[in-house]
Structure 1
Amino acid sequence: MSERSSVFIYSKHDKESLDKKSKVEDALIHEGFTMTSEDKTANIIISIGSDGSFLQAIRKTGFRQDCLYAGISLTGKHGLYCDFNYTNLYEMTQAIRNAELEVRRYPLIEVAIDNHQPFYCLNEFSIRSNIIRTFALDVHIDELLFETFLGDGLIISTPTGSTAYNKSVNGSVVDPLLRCFQVTELASVNTNKYRTLGSPFIMSGDRKLRLHVHQDGNDFPSMAADNEALGIHQVENVDIRLSDRTIKTVKLKDNSFWEKVQRIYL
């Protein structure tokens, strides 16, 4: 990692977070790294906080393809994306010094809503009814009208995002080495008129998914990209695919995805 020496650190702006950011900067400077206040000039982007902070860091810096991302947890525990712990900065600096790091590439999904600019998600895209009633979606896989969904909404998750919102509604946990994405229902209603598969399903990364919102007065759904709400109002079509882009993250060699899942959930 000697050629990757310029570091940008993303954190909250409260006093406690800024104090901890300063200590991380001091530890990295001691190891020969240089700090930059401009994320566009950094080779490494580090988030300080939680997995949520890591997601924000990636989104705020534009899902860059030409740098490495790393997460430092402040909670005392490693997270799914945070391989390092603030309480043991020595471990982090020694791992860097001794090249005990690996680079992992996590897939993104690309979402396009009507004529708006497409955007990316590292965890998931969710779409839900914005009023206290169900809403209907036609679910198209490639050119096939697969099902008509009636219920609270749908979650479309990446493999790494499969352990987040998706898992909380009984979606499958998916190995991030698989090039795929997952569709999971939120409280579907199955009747003679509306019929869905009734279980999560995993799609090849070569597939395309289109969600058509029925224009029946409930066409103002609540939507989120990872942990950020979207300000788009009236929606007709949502097109989703697995992006060719990936996020490169720094991880410890003895901290695989399944070791993280075991540590967090078992």
Structure 2
Amino acid sequence: MKYAIQSKGDDRSNETRDKIIRCFEGYQIEYDDVNPDIVITVGGDGTLLHAFHQYLNTLQKIAFVGVHTGHLGFYADWRTTEIEELVYKIVHDPLRIVRYPLLEVVIKYHNGKPDERYLALNECTVKSEVGSVVMDIKIKDDLFETFRGDGLCISTPSGSTAYNKSLTGAIIHPSIEAIQLAEMASINNRVYRTIGSPLVMPKEHVLKLYPLKNSKYHISIDHIFLVHNDVKSIHCRVAPEKIQFARIRSFPFWNRVRDSFIGKKKDI
């Protein structure tokens, strides 16, 4: 087994990273940040997002584990006080792998420019540099609505607890292979109408966005922000790839949701 570590970069995270390395050295486990079998992130969910994009080309070979040095995250569930236990279990216990669906985003352009393909762990957002976003939304090539508003957010199930939730989107269990579309401040009056509710689509459905006005579009892929010109369409679907997590101990998803947004369970 070979491992790599990605740290948030603050003092506490770097100290934790160094402690993990010392623990692995005691077991003579090789450190390899080029071709690791397991990637340990130290920091928070943002640190794991960075690691995910760093290892996009080898996702099928890598399992991720998160250690949080701040607040409990959805991807980082081990504490700094549990490092020895974590390393011991990685070395001695069979790893149980869980796989979460990802979002594929393909941007198509006018003028023969090649398509660009991206993968998102959390979400893709689309906003206009100037004015409102005006787009035809097609599902399975059928026109669903013409959207006018601040923007659109297309999220994965694991990303449904992130930006999507602030847009009143549904929280979806990450075992469900689906994507979700949520609107940002849609315009609804006697002239313009949108559904005004989040839409959840299964993996067989492709969501296509067609801009109806020329504009520069701000398109985010997780934490990566891009500016695109001459966008012809944006195609979104459940990606064929998945991210793998090493589930070393049980931490049910709904417990994470409760602890993050409601508070830890109280004894009655």
* TM-score using structure 1 length: 0.89
Tell me the residue number matched to 1:263. Answer: 259
CA distance in 1, matches of 2:95, 2:163: 28
Counterpart residue number, 2:165: 167
Q: Structure 1 residue 117: deviation in Å? A: 2.4
> RMSD of aligned C-alpha atoms?
1.9
- How far is the alpha carbon of 1:14 from its aligned partner? 5.7
Amino acid at match of 2:24: L
Structure 2 counterpart of 1:28: 24
Q: 1:261 to 1:8 in 2, by over 3 A?
A: same
Structure 1 residues 106 and 26: alpha-carbon distance in aligned structure 2, compared to 1, 3 A threshold: same
Q: How many Å separate the matches in 1 of 2:92 and 2:30? A: 18
Amino acid at match of 2:209: L
Which sections of structure 2, spanning at least 5 residues, go unmatched? 109-113, 263-268
Instruction: Map Cα deviations across residues 160-189 of structure 1 (whole Å, 9 max, x no partner).
Output: 000000001110000111111100000000
**Would you say the 8 A contact 1:71–1:84 is kept in 2?**
yes
Q: Secondary structure at the match of 1:193?
A: coil
Alignment correspondent of 1:113: 107
Unaligned runs of 5+ in 1: none
In structure 1, what is the equivalent of residue 229 of structure 2?
233
Letter in 2 for 1:260: R
Decide whether the 8 Å contact of 1:215 with 1:236 is kept in 2: no
For residues 93 and 184 of structure 1, the distance between their equivalents in structure 2, rounded to whole angstroms, comes to 39
Describe the superposition over 1:48-76 as per-residue Cα deviations: whole angstroms up to 9, x where unpaired: 1110110110101225211111111111x
2:78 to 75, 81, 84: 84
Find the aligned partners of 2:249 and 2:4 in 1 and give their Cα distance. Answer: 23
1:220 maps to a residue whose letter is: K
Report the CA distance shift for 1:16/1:255 in structure 2 as closer, same or farther (over 3 A). Answer: closer
Deviates more, 1:54-63 or 1:138-147: 54-63
1:201 is aligned to 199
What is the TM-score of this pair, normalised by structure 2? 0.89
1:8 and 2:4 matched: yes
Preserved contact between residue 214 and residue 236 of structure 1 (Cα < 8 Å): no
Aligned partner of 1:70 among 65, 69, 73: 65
Stretch moving more, 60-69 or 183-192: 60-69
Note the alpha carbon deviations across 1:120-141, whole angstroms, 9 max, x for none: 001000011222x322010000
Say which SS state the counterpart of residue 176 (structure 1) adopts: coil
The 2-side partners of 1:237 and 1:94 are apart by: 49
Aligned residue identity for 1:29: E
CA distance in 1, matches of 2:209, 2:8: 35
CA offsets 1:187-246 (integer angstroms, 9 cap, x no match): 000133322111001001100010011124xx2121110111124334221011111111
State the identity %: 31
CA contact (8 A) 2:37 2:62 kept: yes
In the alignment, structure 1 residue 248 sits paired with structure 2 residue 244: yes
How far 1:27 sits from its partner (Å)?
Answer: 1.6
1:1-38 residue CA offsets vs partner (Å, 9 max, x unmatched):
xxxx10011124566544432221112222442212x3
Q: 1:129-155 CA distances to partner (integer Å, 9 max, x unpaired)?
A: 222x32201000011010000000010
- One-letter amino acid of the structure 1 residue matched with residue 125 of structure 2: S
Partners of 1:19 and 1:13 in 2: how far apart?
Answer: 9
Number of equivalenced pairs: 256
Q: Does 1:140 align with 2:134?
A: no
Residue of structure 1 equivalent to 2:156 = 158
- What SS is found at the alignment partner of 1:78? coil
What's the CA shift for 1:91? 3.0
1:264 counterpart SS class: helix
Contact 2:160–2:171 (8 Å) recurs in 1: yes
Deviation string 1:60-95 (CA, Å, 9 cap, x unpaired) is: 1225211111111111x4310012122321231243
Q: Find the residue that maps to 1:153 and give its secondary structure.
A: strand
Q: 2:258 is aligned with what amino acid?
A: Q
